[in-house]
Structure 1
Amino acid sequence: MLVTAATMALGLLTGILVARTLGPDGRGALAAVLTTTQLLGWLFGMGCGKAVTYALSRDPAAGGRLLSTWTLMLIPVSAAAIAAGLFLLPTLLAAQPADTLGLARLYLPIIALALLSELMLGLLLGDQDFRTFNALNFIQPAGVAVAYLALWAAGRFTVESAVAAQAAMSALVLVAATARILRRHGIGRPDPALGRRTAWYALRTHGDVVGGVVTQRLDLLVIPAYLSAAQVGLYALATSLSWLIVSLSGALASVVMPAATRRGRSGRELVLASLQATFLVGGVLGGGLFVFADIAIHIVYGPAFAASALPLRLLLPGAVLYAAASILLNGLYAENRPFTATMAHLLGMAATMAGLLLFLRDGGILAAAAVSTVAYALVFLTAAALYRRATGLPWRAFLPDPPLLLSMPRRLLGRPLQAGAGGE
């Protein structure tokens, strides 16, 4: 959580710099380029990060074979993702200027780096190497912030230079993560049988990944096709601020899955304690931002972004619920229920798509914010019901247990128990 808070501070710094220097139009263009490529990377990622995390958590000796096997598997997937991006970009960025479309095309090869980075970070989580995982997740925004400041000081801060800085830091993090994995595991012989087993797990998680991406980011993906760059910029600011709640209060989600997997049945109390801590942190942060949204946006980003306050308030309740849902969904992964986890996000995806189709054109960014919050709430309610059904726990087990909350950091960092069996 401390690392996530520091990362959020860096994101706030770069967000202010982008808003003050580039204005709503520039922020909208930058969001359109980065978000489109990021979404394509997630959609074509095949769930490889979750699959290798689960496999390595169960078998710590499989790292080298997972690395070589999945690297070979991701090469054709990366090529397909880039080709799909070239085909889809004219439609996805239909309302944007020609130079924004051209820049997005140049940025598309970063999809390959994103897919390989997902693999490497998944292996780090499977190793329970949480310190390196956190360090790399901090280095990327820190490097971007330093690059943005240097470009601004030199008078060369533009949408194009900002995109180049993002690409450079993505490559640096991939190199660092790969070096760490190679030192720990080396390069093993590709293992087709292991590839088939983990690919089946990955495919069962991929519906959850795709549904999650659509639920989280479909609004930002669709809005550039209907609204002006200025409206995209206003909404991008509201979503980025609301996502601070998800990032910080849901910081435990990435740790919960590998830690609970290695503990087996005893990992369930860790999942529930993480859920309760997430609600506590999210409620405090979200409530404060809800009250002071107008003042904070005016002081930090300037009066040009004042219209972002109401969409932000609409997004905040859903952001807290979505952060909590991420804990429960990772708990389902630890129970070897990846397909069950998919159901929650598929329902959220359906609600998002239907809501945007019905209300976006007439309701604009306020409709997009309301639709997103409803979808986030649906994901949480479904995830809670599915986790209870998968574990057989009573509803009272979901209620706060202060002693367990206080002991959670020790439980996360202590010696794990042997993982249990079972699954779908």
Structure 2
Amino acid sequence: MHKGSTGRPAAAGPARRSFARDGAATILVTAATMGLGLLTGILVARNLGPDGRGALAAILTTTQLLGWLFGMGCGKAVTYALSRDPSVGGRLLTSWALMLTPVAAAAIGAGLLLLPTLLAAQPAETLELARLYLPMIALALLSELMLGLLLGDQDFRAFNALNFLQPAGVAAAYVALWAAGHFTVETAVAAQAAMSTLVLVAATVLLIRRHGIGRPDLALGRRTAWYALRTHGDVVGGVVTQRLDLLIIPAYLPAAQVGLYALATSLSWLIVSLSGALATVVMPAAARRGRSGRVLVLNSLQATFAVGGLLAGGLFVFADIAIRLVYGPAFADSVLPLRLLLPGAVLYAAASILLNGLYAENRPFTATLAHLLGMAVTLAGLLLFLRDGGLVAAALVSSVAYTLVFVTAAALYRRATGLPWRVFLPDPAVLAAMPRRLLNKPPPAAATPAGPSGE
């Protein structure tokens, strides 16, 4: 049995649970989290209006994006390493905590320089509040590390619990602030910071108890950093594809327009969050299983299509009624951008399954190519059409970019595994009819990794 640095077994219990049970639990937690997100969104919309919602979205999104951009792909790297070798948890924790310290300082410095440009169309008080919130980048980087280690442990129960704790605490704080008559953009930001800190502390304590504090390992750090750097292009490309619209819009459009679009993107992203919930656990589970994990990836892809299509269809039909009833007539102009975003959202959720399948195949740089294409289309499209086309142009550009990410991800996964196209069809009977030897066969020679380091 593998042991952590303290000599204790490294999370053998969670690793033995079936993927179906873990996946179902992840979807349920994601659904509950979505419900909390809707609650907080309603509180923000009803009490702060489009201007307040836009200011809050600009502050939180800017800091979140900088954290992702400077994260170096550490979450994926430690998840893969710990999935393959459960004995290295303590050394991974210490080595990466040290490596992320200067990265966090650089991210905060970059944020201070970029905020005046990124929030150029926002009032001075929004810019000042965003500056005060910037140190949360350091916590975001460390949280990515800790949650990545929990996934590598196959401890999906703790991972889901902590991911639920964050929005649950924020929702409770928002309700308390609203009841006390103190619900403002400033107090909402403070609530977000407090809950992020609590989640990080809880995850750190759990991991230290499990693995101990290992000695920094230069060789392990260098090896996992190489994997991380090959994933970082995918992380950066994914962040840009997903959130570049919200990052650029505050520089061109007033806060009310930002608030309308933020509502449309948050609702469309519910489709990605729920229908793509399996993507979170696909990579560690498939990596632990080796080539037989391909069956898991393809089954998850088909489930994602089914769930996503059902949710998006319902939201498309009832978008107008739901937004007016829940958020109020002031947000009616969010309906069209939302409907334009929905098809791309379903395909993007499906792409996330395939990209995590590439991570499990030790092909992180291959996964990067799909998001680089999406990033290029998003950036070019927004720069060309945002000023004249407004919210509709932003939604169209984003939906097209999501679609291209899926098409590219499917082609890359097929090439990396050598599987026929028919196994990608949303029909369980097709996959069930495939011989096990075909699903477990090595990839074509051209796509075979050159060695243990992968691509």
In 1, Cα distance between equivalents of 2:111 and 2:424: 42
Among 160, 177, 190, which residue is 1:164 paired with?
A: 190
Secondary structure of 2:87's counterpart equals coil
Kept in 1, the 8 Å contact 2:337–2:392? The answer is yes
Identity of aligned residues (%): 86
Kept in 1, the 8 Å contact 2:73–2:235? The answer is yes
Question: What whole-Å deviation, never above 9, does each CA across 1:125-174 have from its counterpart, x for those lacking one?
Answer: 00000000000000000000000000000000000000000000000000
2:111 matched residue in structure 1:
85
Kept in 1, the 8 Å contact 2:302–2:428? The answer is no
1:313 matched residue in structure 2:
339
Counterpart of 2:90, as a letter, is G
Deviation at 1:402, TM superposition (A): 3.2
1:25 matched residue in structure 2:
51
Counterparts of 1:172-187 in structure 2, within 5 Å, are 172-187=198-213
The two structures, once aligned, show a CA RMSD in angstroms of: 1.3
1:201 matched residue in structure 2:
227
1:190 matches 2:216: yes
Kept in 1, the 8 Å contact 2:286–2:360? The answer is yes
Kept in 1, the 8 Å contact 2:118–2:250? The answer is yes
Deviation at 1:69, TM superposition (A): 0.1
Deviation at 1:404, TM superposition (A): 9.3
In 1, Cα distance between equivalents of 2:122 and 2:426: 48
Counterpart of 1:146, as a letter, is A
Kept in 2, the 8 Å contact 1:63–1:123? The answer is yes
Among 239, 256, 266, which residue is 2:282 paired with?
A: 256
1:2 matched residue in structure 2:
28
Question: What whole-Å deviation, never above 9, does each CA across 1:221-253 have from its counterpart, x for those lacking one?
Answer: 000000000000000000000000000000000
Counterpart of 1:48, as a letter, is C
Counterpart of 1:233, as a letter, is G
Counterparts of 1:53-68 in structure 2, within 5 Å, are 53-68=79-94
1:414 matched residue in structure 2:
none
Question: What whole-Å deviation, never above 9, does each CA across 1:227-282 have from its counterpart, x for those lacking one?
Answer: 00000000000000000000000000010000000000000010000000000000
Deviation at 1:423, TM superposition (A): 3.3
Among 407, 416, 420, which residue is 1:390 paired with?
A: 416
1:346 matched residue in structure 2:
372
Kept in 2, the 8 Å contact 1:276–1:405? The answer is no
1:76 matches 2:107: no
Kept in 2, the 8 Å contact 1:274–1:405? The answer is no
2:356 matched residue in structure 1:
330
Kept in 2, the 8 Å contact 1:277–1:405? The answer is no
Counterpart of 1:265, as a letter, is R
1:368 matches 2:394: yes
Deviation at 1:398, TM superposition (A): 1.0
Deviation at 1:400, TM superposition (A): 3.4
The alignment covers a number of residue pairs equal to 411
In 2, Cα distance between equivalents of 1:238 and 1:395: 34
Q: Which runs of 5+ in 1 are unaligned?
A: 407-419
Kept in 2, the 8 Å contact 1:273–1:404? The answer is no
With structure 2 as the length reference, what TM-score do the two structures score?
0.89
In 1, Cα distance between equivalents of 2:80 and 2:361: 10
In 2, Cα distance between equivalents of 1:394 and 1:385: 11
Q: Which runs of 5+ in 2 are unaligned?
A: 1-26, 433-450
In the TM superposition, structure 1's runs of 4+ consecutive aligned residues that sit over 6 Å from their partners are 403-406
Counterpart of 2:308, as a letter, is G
2:8 matched residue in structure 1:
none
Deviation at 1:7, TM superposition (A): 0.2
In 1, Cα distance between equivalents of 2:197 and 2:132: 15
Deviation at 1:421, TM superposition (A): 6.7
With structure 1 as the length reference, what TM-score do the two structures score?
0.96
1:423 matched residue in structure 2:
454
Kept in 1, the 8 Å contact 2:358–2:366? The answer is yes
Among 259, 269, 273, which residue is 1:243 paired with?
A: 269
Question: What whole-Å deviation, never above 9, does each CA across 1:64-85 have from its counterpart, x for those lacking one?
Answer: 0000000000000000000000
Question: What whole-Å deviation, never above 9, does each CA across 1:177-211 have from its counterpart, x for those lacking one?
Answer: 00110111000000000000000000000000000
Kept in 2, the 8 Å contact 1:388–1:394? The answer is yes
1:409 matched residue in structure 2:
none
Counterpart of 2:72, as a letter, is M
1:265 matched residue in structure 2:
291
